[in-house]
Amino acid sequence: MSVRIKAVVDRFVKELQEALDADIQDRVMKEREMQSYIQEREREVAEREAAWKAELSRREAEIARQEARLKMEKENLEKEKSVLMGTASNQDNQDGALEITVSGEKYRCLRFSKAKK
């Protein structure tokens, strides 16, 4: 009877060891799958982050271009305003010329013509 008990116990230990080995193998496989999944997700996130940063950089460059264009337009507007805001005075000169002073500089206009419509 003792031989039978020993055989049953040995078989139980062997089955238990096999089940334990299978469980360990399963856990190792699951760990590898999880690591692979994590690496893939990290790669996807890094790609999205790089794309987002590239888009942000492109938008910042566009904003800088627009700001430069607006600055130029503002400077041109200020120049136009200074020309338009110049003072004109009709001097009763001998030649009948109109004198216009713009930004401290005098201009003389001898002939006038009506604008065509």
Cβ(98)–Cβ(109) under 8 Å? Answer: yes
At 77-109, the pLDDT tens digits run: 888 776 666 555 555 556 667 777 766 777 777
Number of residues that this document lists for the chain: 117
Which DSSP state fits 15?
Answer: H
pLDDT at 80: 79
Q: DSSP labels for 43-97?
A: HHHHHHHHHHHHHHHHHHHHHHHHHHHHHHHHHHHHHHHHHHTSEEE----TT-P
pLDDT tens per residue, range 18-40: 999 999 999 999 999 999 999 99
Q: State the first-to-last Cα distance of the chain, in angstroms, to the nearest integer.
A: 127
